[in-house]
Amino acid sequence: MSSVSVRVPGKVNLQLSVGGLRPDGYHDLVNVLHAVSLYDELSARPGFGVSVTVSGTGPEGSEGSEGPAGSVPLDGDNLAVRAAYALAEVAGVPADVALHISKGIPVAGGMAGGSADAAAALLACDQLWGCGLGRVELDRLAARLGADVPFALSGGTAVGVGRGDRLTPALARGRFHWVLAVADGGLPTPAVYAECDRLRGSRRAGEPELSAALMSALRTGDAVGLGQALSNDLQPAALSLRPALRMTLGAGREHGALGALVSGSGPTCAFLARDEEHSIDLAVALSGAGVCRTVRRATGPVPGARLTTAKAA
Ligand code: C5P
């Protein structure tokens, strides 16, 4: 086997309800995750030790530029590198692989790009090294690597509880059309959760509960109902750290978005369009309004990490 490639989607959160801070530093969540057609491509080929290179991260898709590109670590902090080491240890094989990640998911954008890369690395290395780990074992490893990693393996639409990593697939009908406003720079997830705690002060967080209206809109493929039911408890924190996002959300609403919210910990904003045509209009309007770095269109739900090529030597 000379090279294995995996394609993995990013996600938006349809509901992110944040409970109290737990002793382990995480928060109890009810998290409805929805995989959308914005992808990272990861390739794995034989190497010595684990190395990683990254492309497509700069403001214009350039490498090594200032801003978001700088925030993808190329060392042991890279989640894909950590995934490769974790898999090698569990499978009892040498950790030898050269990884390359081509980013299509905004870096530190609240769309779980790092988690997506970890999931892709697990799948690619499992194939390259011939480990043959089953789905249960891969899911267990994924959960060790981060709260959003198991979802990047499964994709679709799912409800996550606990840290957000205990997943149940959600029944969803049809295809939803999204417009994503990608901001300049990223927001570190731990900082956004910390700001959420700070804003709450001494107020006790209630027990997070799954929205029945959201589940019903998903079951019936009702875009209007879905737009009304979207919610994100991290949004006030993201807006506090990045006040300019208010303008981004306002511009999307003004142009008829059925729903507008910060995706996860932000700063990417997600807008639900009525249909494909409306998503084109909305994307054009948001580009013209100058309220974000770049605009992308995507549909969801889409499947999780998938092998795209496995070339024999
Ligand atoms: O699991 P992951 O590494 O993606 O989480 C990143 C950070 O987000 C955690 O270190 C924590 O600060 C915050 N987090 C949280 N509660 C969760 C998930 C993430 O506080 N359920």
Q: Is the pLDDT of residue 313 over 80?
A: no
DSSP state of 303: B
Q: In whole angstroms, what is the distance from residue 238 CA to residue 192 CA?
A: 6
Q: What atom of ligand 1 comes closest to residue 193's alpha carbon?
A: 20
pLDDT in tens, 56-107: 865 433 333 333 434 788 888 899 999 999 999 999 999 999 999 999 999 8
Give 108's pLDDT tier (boundaries 50, 70, 90).
confident
Q: Is the pLDDT of residue 35 over 50?
A: yes
Would the CA dihedral through 311, 53, 112, 61 be positive or negative?
Answer: negative
Mark residue 165 as left, alpha or beta (left: phi above 0; alpha: psi -120 to 50; beta: remaining). Answer: alpha
Q: How far is the CA of 191 from the centre of ligand 1 (A)?
A: 10
Q: Angle at which helices 135-145 and 113-128 pack, to 10 degrees?
A: 140
What is the per-residue pLDDT for 67? 39
The pocket around ligand 1, CB under 6 angstroms, is made up of 25-27, 29, 115, 146-148, 163-164, 189-190, 193
pLDDT in tens, 133-147: 989 999 999 999 999
Nearest CA to ligand 1 atom 9: 190
Q: In this structure, are residues 100 and 37 in contact, taking their beta carbons and an 8 Å threshold?
A: no
Residue of 70, 111, 124 lying closest to 265 (CA atoms): 111
pLDDT in tens, 144-169: 999 999 999 999 999 999 999 899 99
Mutate to test the pocket of ligand 1, among 13, 18, 22, 27 (most ligand atoms within 8 A of CB): 27
pLDDT in tens, 10-22: 999 999 999 999 9
**If residue 212 lies in a helix (H) or strand (E), which one and from where to where?**
helix 212-220
What is the per-residue pLDDT for 204? 79
23 or 310, which is more confident: 23
Average pLDDT over every residue of 102-128: 95
Helix/strand/coil (H, E, C) string of 222-281?
CHHHHHHHCEECCHHHHHHHCCCHHHHHHHHHHCCCCEEEECCCCCCEEEEECCHHHHHH
| Pair type for strands 50-55 and 97-102 | parallel
Catalytic residues: 11, 148
- Give 222: exposed, middle or buried? Use CB within 10 Å, 0-12, 13-18, 19+: middle
What is the per-residue pLDDT for 71? 73
Average pLDDT over every residue of 262-276: 97
pTM of the full structure: 0.93
What does the DSSP assignment read for 45-108?
E--SSEEEEEES-STTS-SS-SGGGGGS--STTSHHHHHHHHHHHHHT----EEEEEE--SPTT
Q: In whole angstroms, what is the distance from residue 132 CA to residue 125 CA?
A: 10
Tell me what the pLDDT averaged over the chain comes to. 92
What is the per-residue pLDDT for 309? 79
Q: How far is the CA of 23 from the centre of ligand 1 (A)?
A: 13
Give 26's pLDDT tier (boundaries 50, 70, 90).
very high
DSSP state of 161: E
Q: What's at 63, amino acid-wise?
A: E
pLDDT in tens, 229-261: 999 999 999 999 999 999 999 999 999 999 999
Q: In this structure, are residues 35 and 304 in contact, taking their beta carbons and an 8 Å threshold?
A: yes
Give bridge partners of residue 8 from the DSSP assignment.
Answer: 40
Q: How far is the CA of 235 from the centre of ligand 1 (A)?
A: 15
Q: How far is the CA of 241 from the centre of ligand 1 (A)?
A: 17
Average pLDDT over every residue of 276-282: 98
Q: Residue 25 CB: number of other CB atoms within 10 A?
A: 9
Nearest CA to ligand 1 atom 4: 146
